[in-house]
Each structure stands twice: as C-alpha cells, then as structure tokens.
Structure 1
Amino acid sequence: MATQAHRLYTPEEYLAMERQAEFRSEYVHGEIFAMSGGSRAHSYIAGNAYRLLGNQLEGRSCAPFGSDMRVLVNPGGLYTYPDVSIACDPQFSDSAVDTLTNPIVIVEVLSPSTEAYDRGLKFAYYRRQASISHYVLIAQDQPHVELYTRQEDDKWLLTEINSLEGDVNLDAIGCKLPINKLYDRVEFSARPEFA
C-alpha cells in the first residue's frame, strides 16, 4: 500500500498564504499548523503582560507586540505568534513590516493544547535565536510563572514563582512583571498545585 507524501511549504509560500488568511497559522520547517483560540484567563493574562510591559517601555526604543505580530525564529525554521514579544529597535523580515526578527523577550501563556510545544520544540527554537534573552511561561490555571534567562555561556537559568507575590525581573529590558498584576481578573477554580 502506497502512502501519500506529506506536503511541505517554503517560507515564501507560507507567508503568501498567511498574509491573506482569515485565521493565523504557525510554520515549523515546512509544516503549517492552525492556531486555536484562547480562554478568558489566557486573554486576561496576555493582555495584562502586554499592558504592564508597554507602560514601562513608554518613550524607550524597546516596544511590546501582541499576539498579532508574527515572529521569525532561526530564519526559515519557525514563524510563530507569541502572546507577547518585546524588541529593542525592532527589525522586520521585509517591507511588509509584519514579521519581527529580533525579539529580546518572549511571553507565552500556557494552554493545555500547547504547553508541551511551548516547553519543547518552540523553546528549542527560541534558545537558538541569539536576540532572545528572556522566555516567560505563565500558567493560567494557578499562579505559576517560569522565567528562563540566557546566561553569558548560552545556558539558561530558570526562576520560578508559585504565588501571587513577587515580580518577574526582565533585566535585559529593565522591566518587572508584578505577579499579582499579571493575574489581575483571573479566577482560579482549583487549589493551586504548588501551594
């Protein structure tokens, strides 16, 4: 029995389709994956992170971008839409100015359907992107934030916060995310796993 070959797309084909698509998709080495919608908690957390960072970056050369900004990681390998990205003196892949190439901070709000990908393959790509200094993963079902910070030897240092107290310190851009403000309006239905 013969199997049908899996269709792979070039980055140019992906961008041509994506720029006319009604719904967003991510691109991973030739494969295209549709993105699903988020929950209310996901929306609150991503919005809070964007607002908090945007307020702190006002008047500076670093700018926040929401989930509508496509990010090119490891040229040609991954096109993705982080929940929040920050770039200093933002650079884009072409004149369409819709694909950021130099993020310094990436923030992802974890969802059951994407958590393994955000922690695994996507983080592997982010680690290879020289411009990225901080990768922030935020749980939406309990107060839990993981901050990965690139060290001088290209190793990554993990800092975890498991309560509504404290700050996520983004030293590369001189900003802080207060945990209690990050989770503003989010209601937790179950007892936190890390309590």
Structure 2
Amino acid sequence: MLFVVEISTKKTLWLFDLVNVITVLIVEVASKSTKNYDRVDKFDYYCSLPSFQEYLLVEQCRWRVLQHLRQEGDRWLLSDFETQNDVITLASLNLPLASSDIYAGVDFTLSEEGTDIRNENTGRVG
C-alpha cells in the first residue's frame, strides 16, 4: 500500500499511529525551512515503524529527491537523484518513477530567493 503522509506538528502524530502497521512507503515534500527536521527527526520516527521500508524526500525548490531504502540489519541505503532525467525505482512497489513526473508543472523560477534555479544542476547560466 502507498501512503503519502505529512506530519506538521506533534498534535497530528496520532494520525500516523493509525496506519503504522501497514506503512511501507512515505513520500514527503520538504521546504527549505523543514528539510533538516524531515531528514533527521521525522525519518528517525518513521524508522521505528516495523513495516516502513522506503522514504522519498522531495525538495520543492530544485530537482532533488532523496531515497532511503531499508536493508538487512536495519541499515539504510541512501540514493540522491538530482536531474530531470533520473528514474527512481520504488523498491517497495516495484515501480519506476521519473523525476520529470514528480516535478511536472513545477516552475523553479518562482523560488524563495527569486533566482532561476532550473540551471543549478546543469551548471548553465540562465
């Protein structure tokens, strides 16, 4: 089963507890202000769920998806996808997911600083 869960405050943690028995994949969109919290504190909490196998953290201001996959011995494999040509294999669902599909319709020129970050990963000045 696929669950997309956003927990924004401790008050909503109980909602997550209702589905933790079957939670396998969590996909989150992180803003600049929450990405450190998402990467560490939230991820640590998610790891405590026995069924949890895969985590995608999608950055909203540039082409970047972090994928964490649970390995044997409760070790985690981190993969970093940073281009629009990347294809992420959702191991928990055995499905491919193109970065271009994740970011379809996103206009990176509207970033918080007002800079054009579409070229950040290509090295081109735009």
TM superposition score category, shorter chain reference: 0.7 to 0.9
1:114 positional shift:
1.7
Change (3 A) 1:182 1:100: same
TM-score by length of 2: 0.75
**In the TM superposition, what is the alpha-carbon distance from 1:140 to its structure 2 partner?**
0.9
SS in 1 for 2:45: helix
Q: Aligned with 1:120: secondary structure?
A: helix
Summarize the Cα distance change of 1:169–1:130 in structure 2 as closer, same or farther, 3 Å threshold: same
- 3-state SS of 1:148 partner: strand
- Unaligned segments of structure 2, at least 5 residues: 8-12, 110-115
- 1:100 pairs, out of 11, 16, 19, with 19
Return the offset for 1:193: 4.1
- Structure-1 separation of matches of 2:58 and 2:121: 14
1:65-80 matches, within 5 Å, as: 65-67=3-5, 78-79=13-14
Structure-1 separation of matches of 2:14 and 2:34 = 15
Q: Which residue of 2 aligns with 1:50?
A: none
Question: Equivalent pairs: percent with the same residue?
Answer: 31
Aligned CA distance change for structure 1 residues 80 and 157 (closer, same or farther; 3 Å): farther
Pick aligned residue for 1:150 from 70, 78, 90: 70
Once the two structures are TM-superposed, the CA of residue 105 in structure 1 deviates from its matched residue by 0.3
Output the CA distance in 1 between the equivalents of 2:89 and 2:65: 11
CA offsets, 1:76-115, max 9 Å, x none?
A: xx4466xxxxxxxxxxx6xxxxx31221000110112321
Q: Of 50, 53, 71, which aligns to 1:130?
A: 50
Which residue of 2 is the match for residue 118 of structure 1? 38
Tell whether the 8 Å contact from 2:4 to 2:25 is kept in structure 1 after alignment: no
Matched residue count: 109
Q: Shift in Å at residue 156 of structure 1?
A: 0.4
- C-alpha distance in structure 2 between counterparts of 1:142 and 1:116, whole Å: 16
Q: Is the strand fraction higher in 1 or 2?
A: 1
Q: Which residue of 2 aligns with 1:10?
A: none
AA in 2 matched with 1:162? E
Task: Mark the runs of 5 or more structure 1 residues left unpaired by the alignment.
Answer: 1-61, 71-77, 82-92, 94-98
Larger Rg: 1
- TM-score, normalised on structure 1? 0.50
| SS of equivalent to 2:44 | helix
